[in-house]
Every structure is written in structure tokens, then in C-alpha cells.
Amino acid sequence: MPNSFRNQLIIAFLLILTLMQLTTALFVLTATQRDYRQQQTQNLNIGSNIFVEMLSNRNNQLSQSLSLLSADFGFKRAVATGEQDTISSVLANHGRRINASAVILLSPEGKLLSSSLQGLTSENINELFALTQNRSTSFDIFNFDHSSYQFVLQPVKAPTLIAWVGMGFTMDKTVADQAKTITGIDISFINQSGRVDIVSTLPEGLQQEVLSNIAQLAQNVGNFSDTLPNEYLSTTIALDRNSNHQWAVLHQSNAKWQQSYDALRNNMLMIFALTCLLAFLIAAWFAGGITRPIYALVNFARKVGQGENPQPITGAPAELQVLANTLSVMRENIESREHELVYQSQHDNLTGLYNRAAAKQQLGQLLMSMHGCIAMIDIKNFRHLNNIIGFANADNLLMLFASRLESLSPLPTLLSRLDGDSFLLLFQPSISREQLDMYLRQLTKPYDIAGSKISVNVRVGLVELSCDYNHNDIDKLIRHAEIALNQARIESQTIATYLQGEDERYLRELMIIRDLPIAISQGQLHLVFQPKVDIHSNSCNSAETLIRWLHPQLGFIPPDEFIRLAENSGNISMISDWVLNTTIKQLAQWQAQGIALTVAINLSAHDLTNAQLPLDIKQLLADNHLPIEALSIEVTEGAVMKDAQTVIAVLQQFKGIGIAIAIDDFGTGHSSLAYLKMLPVNEVKIDRSFIKDIHTDATDLMIVDTSIRLIKGLNLSVVAEGVESAEGIDILRRLDCDIVQGYVYSKPLKADEFTTWFSQFNQPNLSANIKDTVN
């Protein structure tokens, strides 16, 4: 994490430290270097002064020695003789006494009397004589023949001045060594007169270096040079003030200071390294002290985020501890709120029982092993009750109901309210029928609501748990309970138990109901037409239209099934509309082909309560330029009796506009003959169940005979359905039945097949043949 606080802190720490250290080091080292340079310079100055002082002292010593010598009586006497040889020998003799390298004797007037140096020029003599005039307090260096002499002169008095005696001492290695011993500084004597000579305490190599830079000498007087030689600080002293040919160069070695400087620098580097390390450690420790609690907080927050309950953080720095505590409190708050939310999400607000989702979840956990039973209980006509006693009281009722459920025994393993008045109970072990009866009796005892006793009735759908279920089938289980409850409702029983297979039927019905609108829009439905033959005239003038549904998955679906489902689901008018429109379209087509037919359509009870329908049909026929008698309707007794009054009014309307009405499936319903009298019908169709065995079954024959007489008595025409044999036709003709419908003539046919069949049947020749065959 390059951007982590910890790293930033460490980097900042180190940066500041490095900056400080470097600045300090820069100043210290610069100051030290300056200081060392100053010291070195000072040292060199002191050395230089000492050297000059040394030469002066030497001068004094030599002068004193010489003055003693010159005061020597023998010397004076020898000088006073004026004899050259005597003088020369005494000079040599006395010169040796004080180790002089050169001895001269000058007259008081400056004339050379004698000299150990051969070939002195008058210039040399004047130079030396000048020394007697300005007797310097320091020292005098005399150059002769590339040699430097420190010269001292003393008067020879006997007792008046009779001569000047001078002695010279070469500036040789001994002097340099001596000076070095005193000053601690290397010294070179350089004589530049003509050729260059050097006498030095420096090693040979460095002497060469000095000589190579000899041009600097003159500028270096009183100044300092770093290149005479390198690694040395050097200053030059001019030994003779006149000729600039003789120099003393003092070389102060840098070594000592360089060593100190290096040592200081190394120490500082070491201190720097150590401080950096220490700073790093401290920064790391310090940063750790901050970041560790932060990481702990991060972990804490992460765990809280994952829903865990981590250990509270303790021992963090105060500010972070506040945060840590806040986090802990926040976690607790979240937890309690979560509990609340979970409770709310799992429980029904009103009753405090588990809700549907929680019940499913609980069931999934409880039903790891499938035993016991599930009971779904609802209150009969609760909506009605709701309307009567009001919502608030109904809610109270539900609460009381729920609390009674909780208090009754056997106590259910799980008790939940799925919705409204629907409760789901799990009994483990299973509850026996006797126990359940007892349970329900107690449950249905009157409830005290707002001062009045309210009695309720309940229905129960039971599902016995078995190995057929597993704990993933909770939805299925609940659906089965609902199916069972529904069964109870349909069958008006208190208790219904789910039977294996009901579910499949239920699912099929669901599918059918769901797919019906799709079937209409996608053309899965089609109409077939079954001819109705007048057996007296042996002609076909009418047909019944029947609906067929070829479902893509379920295949052929019996019309009874899907029509019943459509009625139950309230979709029947959709089918009726489709049948009506399609039939009229077909009729129009047939009319165009010159085929005149009366086609009967079946109307449901629902259709028969629609007072608008007769007018709509009339309009539709007119729109298609069809005569009113092109369409007839068939109604079942059951449909009529659902709401007889309304239906009869609608039927009257149909009759009023001239549409023929037939009673279908006569004999199967619970209708009374009184209705037959009241209904404005034209035709009665005797149900196939009486017809199909008429030629073998005497009872059926008798029933049909009686029915025909009855119907004929009412002056209605009779249709026999389901005639399958020629004998049946004969019998029916004999019984004075008017019209026959059945496989003996034709099964229900699609429109084009029907057209073909119709043309053939009604052709005189052909029909004669058939009639013959029939006869």
C-alpha cells in the first residue's frame, strides 16, 4: 500500500530527518572545513613566523658568536697586521670555530680585505657592506654562486673600528630539518638564481612537484597555495628582498586536517545512518501505533459488515478508541435493528405469527425428515364476515383466532399466518382425525368481539407428509395444502385431505386457464360442425357447432374441461365471443357458396345473463347479411337454473328477435319440468346417454319414448343426440323423433369437410342412396 498512512508517515519522517541531517552536515562540514582551513592557515602563519623568528634567532646567535670571535685579541691582532696570508688563515681558523661556510673581511670603508669566497664581484661586496650599514634585527640572506648564505657581520674594533668581519652559513638541509623540528612544517629553500636549486624536507617526488609550479612562488609571498605541492597548504617567504631569487617555502600538510575531516564526515555519515534507522524504527513504531488500531477498526468494520460479532477493540489511542466504541455501539444498533427487521420480515404484523416467507423457511428447516402433517386452515366466508363486523373487528377476530391457535393442544410445531384468514400449521407427529375434530371444535367456539359473540366456521386442507416430499418441496407442499383446502371449499366440507395426483390435475387446469387467451389469439381453437338430420324428410338443414382445442403440449383438450374451467375462471365470454364470430363468419362464407343452414351455438350460463347479447347477435347477423334463422342457440338446463329469472328474460329476447332456442342435454340436469314449460324454447335435445343404447336397452327406450311424447306434447321439436346406428334411426323415427344428430350420419366435421358432406348428403341421388341404405 504505497499510499498508506503508515508509509507516508515514515517517508515524511525520513524526509524531514534527511533534510535536517543533510543541512546540518552541510553546515558542520563546511564550517569544519573552513575552520580547518583557518587552523591550517593559522598554523602555517605561526610556522612561518616561527621560521622567521628562528632565522632571526640564528642571526642573533651567529652575530653573538661572531662578535665574540671578532673581539678575540688574537684575531684583532692578526687583522691589524694587514698581512694577507695571516688574515686569510685567521679567517679560516675562526670561521671553522663557528662552522661558518664563508668568511669575509671588509675594511671600515667597505673594501674587500679578504674572502673565503672566490670571485666576489664588487656588487657582492657592496651588498655585503650594505649589511653593515642597515644592520637588520632579523636576518640577511646572501646569494652567491647559487648558494644561499645567512650572513652576519661584526665590526672588528681595536679598539676603534679596523674592519668588518662577515660570516655566512649556507641554508642547507640541516637548517631546513631544524626548522621543521621546531615548526612541524615542511620547508623548502629554493634558489632561483640562474639555475634552480631546492633544499627541502619534503620527499623527492613532492620536491619535483614544487619545482614544476615554481612560477607561482613570487605570487605566493604572503598568500597561500594549495598546489605547492598538492595536499599541502604552502606559503612563500622571500629570503632576499632585492633579487627575488631566494625563497623559503613552508608546506603545511593537509593530512592531519583531512584525516580529522574524513573522520568527522564518516562519523556524521554513521550518525546519519543510525539516526535514519532509528527514525525509521520510531516512525514505523509510531505509525504502527496509529495504523494498528486503524487496521483493527477496519477489520472490526469488515466483520460487522459480514454480520459477525467481533471482539470490541480496547487499548487504542483515545481518538481512535472513541471511533472503536462508536463502531461497537453502531454494530449493536445495527444488530438490534436487524433483529427487528428480521422479526418484522418473518412475522405477521397483526398476529405476531410467522408470515408466509418465514413459514416456508421454517418448514424447510423443520422438515428435514418428513413426518407429521400440514394443516391449512381458513375461516369460511371471512370476507363476508369482514364486511359485516368491519375491518377493525375482523382484525381483532384474527388476533383472537391466532392466539387461540397458539393456546390449543396439540400444539403445532409451526404456526403461521399465510395471508388474510389463511393459517398454516405443522403438526409433528401427525394429528389424528379425532384430535383434529376436537381441535376444530375448540377453535370454532364463539369469539367475543366488541361485546358480541362471533361464531366462525373453518375449513382445513390437510397434507400428510411422506417420503414423496423432500425439504425442497415447501412450495409444493403449501400448494397441495391449498389444493386440499380448495377441495374442501368446493366440496363444502370442513376437512379435505390432499390426494396424490390432484396436484397434476390442478396444474393442468392452471395451464389451461392460463393458455386459453393465447389459444384464441394464436388460432389453436377451431370449430367443427355436426349435422342435424331431419329424419322425416331425410335432409340436413341445420348443424351444431362445437369447439375444439388442440393444445401444443396437452394435445386435444375436451371442450367440457376447458369450458368448465373457462366458466370458473370467468373467461367463458371470451370463448363465446370467439365461437359466435367464427360461426357467423363461416355462415357468411357458406351463404356465399349457396348453402343455407341453421347453425346452433352453445351459450353458457354467463352468456345467458347478458341481456345485450341477443341484440349484439342480431346486429352481427345483419352486418353479415345473414337471415336471423341462420343462427340458433343451445342452452343447458344447468345454465338456465343458475339464475332462472334473468336467463328466461334473455331467452325471451332471443325468441323475440326470432332465434331458435334448444335445451341441450335434456334429462341429465336437476331441472324440473316446470322450467320446460316456462322456457321459450323451440327444441329439446335428449342427452346421448339415453340414446346410444336405445336399440338394446328397454329402459332407455321407454325414457326416450316418454320424453319424446312429453316434448311433443309441449309442441316442441325433438332432437336425439349420439345416434350411432341405423337401428337407432329406425327406432327414433318410429318414436316420432324429429331430428337426429350423431355418428350414424357424421362425426363433427371441419367447415370444408362439412361443406363436402353437406353437398353429397343433400344431393337427391346420393341422398336417395343413403336413404336406401338407411332403410
Binding residues (CB under 8 A) for other proteins: these are 71, 73, 76-77, 80, 157-160, 162
Q: Answer for the pair 508, 562: CB distance below 8 angstroms, yes or no.
A: no
Q: Residue 70: which H helix or E strand, with range? A: helix 5-71
Cα separation, 80 vs 87, whole angstroms: 9
Q: Residue 81: which H helix or E strand, with range? A: helix 73-81
Least separation, in Å, of the C-beta of 80 and other proteins? 3
CB atoms within 10 A of CB 679: 23
Identify which of residues 45 and 67 has a Cβ nearer to other proteins in the complex.
67
Least separation, in Å, of the C-beta of 83 and other proteins? 12
Give the CA distances from residue 516 to residues 69, 504, 505, 510, 616, in Å, rounded to whole numbers and listed in that order. 158, 18, 16, 10, 23
Cα separation, 136 vs 490, whole angstroms: 153
Q: At what angle do helices 5-71 and 73-81 cross, to 10 degrees?
A: 60
Least separation, in Å, of the C-beta of 71 and other proteins? 6
**DSSP per-residue string spanning 286-326:** HHHHHHHHHHHHHHHHHHHHTT--PPPP-S--HHHHHHHHH
Cα separation, 268 vs 260, whole angstroms: 12
List the one residue out of 608, 674, 598 whose CA is nearest residue 636.
Answer: 608
Q: What angle do CA 127, 133, 137 make, to 5 degrees?
A: 95
Least separation, in Å, of the C-beta of 137 and other proteins? 22
Least separation, in Å, of the C-beta of 90 and other proteins? 14
CA–chain centroid gap for 649, Å, is: 71
* Residue 97 CB-density burial (10 A; 0-12 exposed, 13-18 middle, 19+ buried): middle
Q: Answer for the pair 276, 267: CB distance below 8 angstroms, yes or no.
A: no
Least separation, in Å, of the C-beta of 62 and other proteins? 20
Identify which of residues 72 and 561 has a Cβ nearer to other proteins in the complex.
72
Identify which of residues 162 and 249 has a Cβ nearer to other proteins in the complex.
162
Identify which of residues 114 and 362 has a Cβ nearer to other proteins in the complex.
114
Least separation, in Å, of the C-beta of 228 and other proteins? 47
Least separation, in Å, of the C-beta of 68 and other proteins? 11
Side-chain-facing half-sphere of 644: CA atoms under 13 Å: 13
Identify which of residues 67 and 444 has a Cβ nearer to other proteins in the complex.
67
Identify which of residues 162 and 199 has a Cβ nearer to other proteins in the complex.
162
The three-state secondary structure class of 187 is: strand
Cα separation, 560 vs 237, whole angstroms: 142
Cα separation, 665 vs 295, whole angstroms: 85
Radius of gyration, alpha carbons of the chain: 72
Q: What b-and-e string marks burial along 140-178, b requiring 16 or more CB atoms within 10 Å of the CB? A: bbbbbeebbbbbbbbbbeeeeebbbbbbbbbbeeebbee
Least separation, in Å, of the C-beta of 111 and other proteins? 17
Identify which of residues 130 and 158 has a Cβ nearer to other proteins in the complex.
158
Identify which of residues 162 and 217 has a Cβ nearer to other proteins in the complex.
162
Give the CA distances from residue 402 to residues 65, 375, 417, 435, in Å, rounded to whole numbers and listed in that order. 143, 14, 8, 19
Cα separation, 148 vs 193, whole angstroms: 10
Give the type of residue at 516: L
Cα separation, 759 vs 590, whole angstroms: 11
Identify which of residues 71 and 513 has a Cβ nearer to other proteins in the complex.
71
Identify which of residues 110 and 559 has a Cβ nearer to other proteins in the complex.
110
Cα separation, 205 vs 635, whole angstroms: 143
Cα separation, 234 vs 145, whole angstroms: 27
Least separation, in Å, of the C-beta of 160 and other proteins? 4
Least separation, in Å, of the C-beta of 56 and other proteins? 25
Cα separation, 365 vs 367, whole angstroms: 6
Least separation, in Å, of the C-beta of 81 and other proteins? 8
Least separation, in Å, of the C-beta of 155 and other proteins? 12
Identify which of residues 32 and 132 has a Cβ nearer to other proteins in the complex.
132
Identify which of residues 158 and 182 has a Cβ nearer to other proteins in the complex.
158
Side-chain-facing half-sphere of 502: CA atoms under 13 Å: 20
Least separation, in Å, of the C-beta of 46 and other proteins? 33
Least separation, in Å, of the C-beta of 87 and other proteins? 13
Identify which of residues 73 and 285 has a Cβ nearer to other proteins in the complex.
73
Least separation, in Å, of the C-beta of 133 and other proteins? 14
Least separation, in Å, of the C-beta of 151 and other proteins? 24
Identify which of residues 153 and 462 has a Cβ nearer to other proteins in the complex.
153
Identify which of residues 162 and 718 has a Cβ nearer to other proteins in the complex.
162
Identify which of residues 76 and 695 has a Cβ nearer to other proteins in the complex.
76
List the one residue out of 589, 585, 572 whose CA is nearest residue 520.
Answer: 572
CA–chain centroid gap for 332, Å, is: 25
β-strands 161-170, 525-534: how paired?
unpaired
> For residue 749, what is the DSSP state?
B
Least separation, in Å, of the C-beta of 30 and other proteins? 56
Q: Answer for the pair 478, 424: CB distance below 8 angstroms, yes or no.
A: yes
Identify which of residues 133 and 715 has a Cβ nearer to other proteins in the complex.
133
Cα separation, 60 vs 78, whole angstroms: 25
Identify which of residues 114 and 124 has a Cβ nearer to other proteins in the complex.
114
